[in-house]
């Protein structure tokens, strides 16, 4: 079981091994980021845990995705740099990241495309790597599942009536509040009441969930066929409002967003001039 950091470290390690074999350098091979396989076990627990199930049918669920439309939207490094600068200026800070800025932008645009009632709540989740947030911190290359889905929410009217900086600041604050204490509380809560995540219980209607990360070295994986032409994900974990952030092929800080929406919402998003003005064709 591993999160995105673990998965892409694994693939990159295999890519390094393959490339070393191709150049006959396996004897001197030293992985750039060897995985740390020492399992983290909280004090007073483990190493084995009992799940509250007596049969696999109690926790294995076959999620059937509704009808969706998926599209890749590309954002150049310059567009993201300008967007980030604009948002930080709005908020009077320099601490809001590129991904937080882009997440705020897509959250507002999707909410506008859905034409939600002004009083309806809409939430946004984004994944946070807890390795460096723990005390003591786990190694950067720790192999395991060490992420949290951080949530913030607002009424649709609030989100659309306030400027983009308002949404970005809400996302930034929920990330900043993910401290070692909060991570420990989350782990302790799960250990006392363990459960299995189910896709259909992981998201809320009319929400946005930002997954993956543009920092993963996805285009660096090479197995004799050259650099990948593009990135796509499989059918798992697809639902209305799921967004995945990938590094752009040209690098330099560009980001591609894989967006899944109900067809009518995707059509409205594609017709949104404010949104499409930032998309690279």
pLDDT tens-digit map of 171-189: 999 999 999 999 999 999 9
Burial (Cβ within 10 Å: 0-12, 13-18, ≥19) of residue 238: middle
Rounded to an integer, what distance in angstroms lies between the CA atom of residue 100 and that of residue 96? 6
- pTM (2 decimals)? 0.93
Q: Which residue has the higher pLDDT, 65 or 102?
A: 102
Token pair 């001039």: residue: 273
Q: Right CATH number for 68-220+234-276 from 3.30.559.10, 3.40.50.720, 3.40.50.1370, 1.10.540.10?
A: 3.30.559.10
Q: Mean pLDDT score of the chain, rounded to an integer?
A: 93
Best CA proximity match to 168, nearest among 241, 82, 108: 108
Angle at 4 between CA 228 and CA 202, to 5 degrees: 120
Q: Name the pLDDT band for 51 (thresholds 50, 70, 90).
A: confident
CA 7 from centre of chain: 13
Q: For residue 14, what are the CA distances in angstroms to 103, 117, 157, 231, 279?
A: 31, 49, 48, 18, 34
Per-residue pLDDT, averaged over 69-76, amounts to: 98
Q: Please list the alpha-helical segments (H only) found in the chain.
A: 4-22, 77-91, 98-114, 156-161, 164-176, 180-192, 199-202, 263-270, 273-276
Q: How many residues does the chain have?
A: 281
Each residue's pLDDT tens digit, 219-270 = 999 898 999 999 999 877 789 999 999 999 999 999 999 999 999 999 999 9
pLDDT at 45: 83
Domain boundaries defined on the chain: 68-220+234-276
Distance CA 15, CA 35 (A): 14
Phi, psi (degrees; rounded to nearest 5) at 180: -60, -40
Beta bridge partners of 245: 212, 257
| Residues whose CB falls within 8 Å of the CB of residue 114, separated by 6 or more in sequence, listed in order | 122, 156, 206, 265, 268
User: What pLDDT does residue 212 have?
Assistant: 94
Q: The tokens of 191 are what?
A: 């250990």
pLDDT at 8: 95
């Amino acid at each position: 079981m591993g999160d995105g950091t673990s998965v892409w470290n694994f693939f990159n390690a295999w890519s390094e091994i393959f490339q070393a074999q191709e150049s006959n350098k396996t004897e001197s091979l030293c992985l750039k980021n060897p995985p740390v396989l020492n399992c983290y076990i909280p004090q007073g627990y483990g190493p084995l845990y009992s799940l509250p199930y007596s049969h696999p049918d109690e926790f294995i669920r076959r999620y059937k995705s509704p009808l969706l439309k998926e599209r890749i939207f590309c954002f150049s490094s310059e567009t993201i740099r300008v967007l980030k600068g604009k948002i930080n200026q709005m908020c009077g800070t320099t601490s809001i990241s590129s991904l937080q800025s882009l997440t705020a932008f897509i959250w507002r645009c999707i909410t506008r495309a859905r034409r939600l009632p002004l009083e309806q709540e809409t939430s946004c989740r984004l994944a946070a790597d807890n390795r460096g947030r723990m005390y003591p911190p786990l190694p950067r290359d720790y192999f395991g599942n060490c992420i949290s889905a951080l949530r913030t929410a607002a009424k649709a009217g609030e989100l659309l009536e306030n400027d983009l900086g308002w949404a970005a600041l809400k996302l930034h604050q929920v990330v900043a509040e993910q401290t070692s204490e909060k991570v420990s509380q989350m782990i302790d809560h799960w250990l006392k009441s363990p459960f299995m995540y189910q896709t259909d219980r992981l998201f809320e209607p009319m929400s946005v969930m930002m997954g993956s990360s543009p920092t993963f070295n996805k285009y660096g994986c090479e197995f004799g066929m050259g650099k990948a032409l593009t990135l796509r994900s499989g059918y798992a974990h697809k639902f209305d409002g799921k967004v995945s952030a990938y590094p752009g092929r040209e690098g330099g800080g560009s980001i591609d967003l894989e967006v899944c929406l109900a067809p009518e919402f995707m059509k409205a998003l594609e017709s949104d001039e404010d949104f499409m003005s930032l998309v690279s064709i």
